[in-house]
Structure 1
Amino acid sequence: MNRRAFLLSLAAPPAGPLLAHWPLVSDARDVSGNNLHGIARGVRFSASGAEFDGRNSRIEVPASPALDLGRRDFTLSVELDPAPEADDIGGGILMKFDPAKRRGFLLAIRDNAVTTSLANHRNLHFGIDDGRGGADWADEGRPGRSVFTMALAVHQGELYAGTCEPEEGAAGRLWRRAERGRWIDCGSPDRANAVSALASYQGHLYAGTAKYRLAGSALPESANPHPGGRVFRLEDDGSWRDCGRLGESTAVACLTVFQGKLYASSLYAPAGTYRYEGGDRWVACGTPDGLRVVAMGVFDGHLYGTGYDKGQVYRYLGGSDWEIVGELPDTTQTYSLAVYRGRLHVSTWPAATVFRYEGDRRWRPAGRPGQELESMALAVYNGKMYVGTLPHAEVYRYEDEGRWTRLAELDRTPGVRYRRAWSMAVYKGRLFCGTLPSGRVWSMEAGRNATWDRELAPGRHHVAAVRHGGRLRLYLDGVEVARSETFSPGDYDLTNREPLLIGAGDQDVLRGRLRDVRLYAQALAPAQIAALARAH
């Protein structure tokens, strides 16, 4: 659409009762007549829209009674142009949410890099909450004969699990969730005892394999002697393409995506990180002083890593160079990374403290979940951050400075020393968690959510989020792509005193552009949403 056509579309009659309309082509003013003007911070405006840098820019619309949606129907409409695969997570689109009360709504691009896997990558998430849910977990079943669901990842609208199946004659396998309690076997990439890492990359699902040492979880060692250390690609016909081995590795620790490239790391010695160059070629990317880099995640232009050799966090500098960006007190191992409210967080052993990055080499404790020894999986879901732990396989929700709320104990296997809540992913509006040693997967919903469980392609899109009666609906380019479970409308009063954030959310600032942001005080019909999408 050229500039003249776009300006004409802004002047067109609204599709329904319009609470606010921010064109975002020259400033953050509301042109609806309701004077809900925004305050722009570090935002660049042009005919292409408001550009957000993924770091510090945002628009804040001060809290107002006019923005108190309460229990009413409403529609969010926005033109979104996310940055192409770059050096940061997607970030928030719109959010008016009180984290202390868990009350409000959000619309975001969801990214979660959890322990070994890229669990969510550029998915869309529309959620509401009024302090409801989180304690009731549903048993999603045991994939195969898993004792350890090491990896969970969303790919092309499906949830996949990578398992450790250590019995003699068995091998690690990939499973696809069919429905609650039922998993479809996608096969074993090789003869190793574990599919240890998963990532969605350039339209395909990649899987890393491992000879996992169960003694590290105080379990009997596997009778399977076969090494892993290789990465495979799941082809469209269900076959596996061998994409090569990570040096001399016997176990893949992690897969993630950074600056449009697939990265991997080695779980055991010899330590190593690698970048995929196609075919079966991997380029070594070095280590920090020969130490293992295990989990990896992206934050504010850099690739970060955790490690099992020291209580440190690392940052990749390019080539084969890494630097230490923190040595955490009373910590000997670091586990998972998560970006929550613009800050990088890391989970640890042996006191389970979660730390928040304050810049340079400074890390601040964000509290200990219960009396657990190890915090592992970290994931952000519907406005809050969650962590899984050892030795009791518990899940906690982060509330505020230093305070965590215990939600559940997911694995009650008797007669074992350690139980893990290890892997997490957001799928079909729910938070999923994989465990050891039962190998079972569990899920819960906090509030009500609609998620589009596919990677958002680069380029301009029209996104609409609708609350209509007892259901949420999410639209992409005029087509409904997701809907929530039903709920009682009276259960969700979204009124709060927080500002409306444009271009920021529960994880980070948006990296990309927004234009023609509208808030309607009713649920627009599908035909009206399709008309808005066509106008873009």
Structure 2
Amino acid sequence: MPPPVAPSSHTLVPGKSAVPLLKPQLLLLSHDRGPHHLHLPAGVFCMLLRTLTAALLLLPNAALAQSDSAPPAARWPLRNSPANALQPSAPVVLRGKATVTDHADFPGSGSWIEVPASHTPDLGTADFTITAKVCCPPNDGPSGDIISQYDPATRRGFHLTLKTAAGVTSSQASLRQLHFGIDDNRLSPWLDHGRPGNALLGFAMAAHNNTLFVGTCEPDAGQAGHVYRLDAGGQWIDCGAPDQSNSVTAMAELADQLYVGTGKYRVAGSSLPESPNTSPGGRVFRRIADGRWEDCGQLPGVEAIGGLAVFQGHLHASSLYKPAGFFRLEKNGTWTTLPVPQATAPAPGTSPDRRVEAMTVWEGALYAGSYDGGSVYRWDGNSWTDLGTLGDNTQTYSFAQYDGQLYVGTWPSGRVYRFAGPNQWVDCGRLGEELEVMGMLVHNGRLLAGTLPLAEMYQYEGTVSWQKLTQLDRTPDVKYRRAWTLAELHGRLYCSTLPSGHIWSVQAGASVQHHAAFPDGWHDIAAVRTGRQLLLYIDGKQVATASIPADSPIDLHSTAPLRIGAGMNGSLNGRLRDLRIYQRALTVTELQPVQ
């Protein structure tokens, strides 16, 4: 027979419910004599109370107010053990430098927790929810998959990601944006979104504040480069011309603000008649509103901005044309001129300075391509390291981070190379018969790349194999057509073209993205598949939604291992706690954080 419950003492407070008074006594329950009270000195009682409180605080606490009536199918508390709390004896492997203390820590590429598919929930075509607590350090990181289960051979699986796409030619197309994608080898037809303004090409693209922004080259007399945004109705809205030069050449987001660089693009470099607009660019602007731009300064000796990227919390910019230039925007709004890479053996009578163009951040350093000699350089914040020349190429044009590795596009071989260490570059194959690999980006698990001279789009098949998807620009009687740069918005991949100036898009599987930089510190996140919708939540607030195509269900049954902290978008470089998978769609109420 259970022991009786002792009556409690309460004091009624006006306007309040009954509140128990704590007295310096300890209630003891005995099976044979029932409840009785042990009177203690106040100091001893307070010490016991503090001890009890501390013990309660050590208990694992749920990240979200989820219902106990429908427990998760899998839960990794990630406190002192990588094990699934619901299957503590199930196999799990710590890869690379991943560690688990009071949280899981993933310090970079090659670090993750791996769980065999046989010990993970079979998600199939049904509803499900993923929840976790994620910690972002300040400045640039992290970027990579929080959790993924994806087979690149069958193109089936899911990803929950914090994604940065930098070095997509001259722009940083996204910065630490929350992304949730599913796929079952589905690829939509390509959609033509028309030509923004009088664009010869969309030189720069970025997703910012849930909007796609495009910077154009408009080279004719009386024209200038503009910024346009794509509205919800599919129309291009003119955001104005920041200056009088013929191009907006680069974009990047910093501290929730959109920055653009301008330039006088030498159109003859694409074997087209030179632009009559001789106004120089080389300035950086910050967007205030449509048609309003704040001038952030002229970079000394720069005719056109070659690239923009965020590194160590600062915006960095480079010069497209000679002389080489590399600059950092300081917190007080001034620009600092930084060193540029040096050639080890420059030709007699030539400058040893090497231009840096496309820039990306990987493994805690800034990596830059160059139009001077076909090398890649690494900047640690103080000095440059030459990482070697890629084959017989003279230009390194673009970057992508795919499955935890760094890939680089080149001219004139039309090949992609993978970085395997200083002066170690692995040839990953040529894209058809093309000469230049332009924008590259990982879209819902697939590495896609655009090319010159036929403006074709390719999909990486592994090792040295690439599959041609389409040709986007068929302008007749020109030498070069370019599939120039790439960006993602609301689950679609966008690509700009030259010389038609049209913007195209395609969709792999289904995905939803929150196009704003994920905040620093610890936050609750949730990704939900419910019916034909995908939903994203941050701290209990729904931040994004997308529809799943209605042609047929996307089946996520997979034999691929589940990876925590890594996937096709790269390694997380961040921290995780209390990761859960539910085989149902949690409600908004259940997803509210515990206060």
In which range does the TM-score fall when normalised by the shorter chain? over 0.9
1:89 and 1:334, CA in 2 relative to 1: closer, same or farther beyond 3 A? farther
Alpha-carbon distance between aligned partners in 1 of 2:311 and 2:242, rounded to the nearest angstrom: 24
Which of 513, 516, 519 is the matching residue for 1:454? 516
Is the partner of 1:215 in helix, strand or coil?
helix
Matched residues in 2 for 1:277 and 1:180: separation? Answer: 38
Q: What's 2:259 paired with?
A: 206
The secondary structure found in structure 1 opposite 2:449 is: strand
Residues 78-137 of structure 1, C-alpha deviations (whole Å, 9 max, x = no match): 111122214x55111000000111001110011111111010110111001111115x11
**Aligned amino acid, residue 83 of structure 2:** R
Q: Is the 8 A contact 1:251 1:267 kept in 2?
A: yes
Q: Which runs of 5+ in 2 are unaligned?
A: 1-53, 343-352
Matches within 5 A, 1:187-198: 187-198=240-251
1:9 and 2:61 correspond: yes
User: After TM superposition, what 4+ stretches of structure 1 lie above 4 angstroms from structure 2?
Assistant: 2-6, 10-13, 33-37
Are the counterparts in 2 of residues 302 and 316 from structure 1 also a CA contact under 8 Å? yes
- List alignment gaps of at least 5 residues for structure 1: none
Contact 2:449 2:457 in 1 (8 A): yes
Please give the alpha-carbon distance, in whole angstroms, between the structure 2 residues aligned to 1:59 and 1:177.
Answer: 39
> Residue 528 and residue 237 in structure 1: after superposition, are their counterparts in 2 closer, same or farther (change >3 A)?
same
**Aligned-partner SS, 2:104:** strand
Q: How many Å apart are 1:316 and its aligned residue?
A: 1.4
Amino acid at match of 1:217: S
The reply on whether 1:391 has 2:453 as its aligned counterpart is: yes
Residue 206 to residue 401, structure 1, CA distance change in 2 (3 Å): same
CA 1:251–1:424 in structure 2 vs 1: closer, same or farther (change >3 Å)? same
Aligned mates of 1:469, 1:35 — CA distance in 2? 33
- Paired position in structure 2 for 1:108: 161
Correspondence for 2:326: 273
Q: In structure 1, what is the Cα distance between the partners aligned to 2:149 and 2:390?
A: 34
Task: Please give the alpha-carbon distance, in whole angstroms, between the structure 1 residues aligned to 2:255 and 2:91.
Answer: 39
Quote the Cα distance in structure 2 between the aligned partners of 1:59 and 1:75.
Answer: 20
1:320-399 → structure 2 map (5 Å cutoff): 321-399=383-461
Match in the other structure for 1:256: 309
AA aligned opposite 2:389: E
User: Which of residues 18, 28, 33 in structure 1 aligns to 2:72?
Assistant: 18
Correspondence for 2:230: 177
CA distance in 2, matches of 1:535, 1:228: 51
Please tell me whether the aligned partners of residues 243 and 280 of structure 1 are also in contact (alpha carbons under 8 angstroms). Answer: yes
Number of aligned residue pairs: give it: 529
Does structure 2 conserve the Cα–Cα contact (< 8 Å) formed by 1:389 and 1:422? Answer: yes
Is the contact made by 1:83 and 1:458 (CA closer than 8 Å) also made in structure 2?
yes
TM-fit CA distance, 1:484: 1.9
Look up the match of 2:502: 440
1:488 is displaced (CA, Å) by 3.9
State the match for 2:10 in structure 1.
Answer: none
Structure 1, residues 18-71: CA drift from partner, whole Å, max 9, x if none?
A: 210110011011112485453223333333x21111233211111116532111
2:173 is aligned to: 119
Q: What SS is found at the alignment partner of 2:272?
A: coil
| 1:493 is aligned to 2:555 | yes
CA distance in 1, matches of 2:202, 2:233: 16
**Would you say 1:230 and 2:283 are equivalent positions?**
yes
User: Which of the numbers 402, 413, 416 marks the counterpart of 2:478?
Assistant: 416
Aligned: 1:297 with 2:356: no
SS in 1 for 2:253: strand
The 1:260–1:280 alpha-carbon spacing in structure 2 relative to 1, beyond 3 Å, is closer
1:535 aligns with 2:594: yes
Structure 1 window deviating more from structure 2 (370-379 vs 270-279): it is: 270-279
Is 1:29 paired with 2:29? no
Q: Considering only aligned residues, what root-mean-square deviation do their CA atoms show, in Å?
A: 2.0
Per the TM alignment, residue 282 of structure 1 is displaced from its structure 2 partner at its CA by 1.4
Amino acid at match of 1:44: T
String of CA shifts for 1:375-416, please: whole Å, max 9, x gaps: 110111111111000011111111111111111111111111
Partner of 1:46: 101
Distance, in Å, in 2 between the alignment partners of 1:469 and 1:294 is 44
Letter of the structure 1 residue corresponding to residue 100 of structure 2: F
SS at match of 2:252: strand
Q: Which sits farther off after the overlay, 75-84 or 36-45?
A: 36-45
Q: Secondary structure at the match of 1:197?
A: strand
**3-state SS, counterpart of residue 59 of structure 1:** strand
CA distance in 2: counterparts of 1:66 and 1:28, whole angstroms: 14
2:149 corresponds to: 96
Residue identity opposite 1:385 in structure 2: L
Shift of the 489–168 alpha-carbon distance from structure 1 to 2, 3 Å rule, reads: closer
Is the contact made by 1:201 and 1:257 (CA closer than 8 Å) also made in structure 2?
yes
Describe the SS at the equivalent of 1:274.
strand
- Judge conservation of contact 1:471–1:487 (CA < 8 Å) in 2: no
Q: In structure 2, do the counterparts of structure 1 residues 325 and 4 end up closer, same or farther at CA, with 3 Å as the change threshold?
A: farther
Structure 1 residue identity aligned to 2:302? S
Q: Distance in 2 between matches of 1:180 and 1:441?
A: 15
1:19–1:34 contact (8 Å) kept in structure 2: no
Q: What's the counterpart of residue 521 of structure 1?
A: 583
CA 1:298–1:13 in 2, change beyond 3 Å: closer, same or farther? same
Shift of 1:240: 1.3
Please tell me whether Structure 1 or Structure 2 has the larger radius of gyration of its CA atoms: 2
Match of 2:122 in 1: 68
Equivalent residue for 2:192? 139
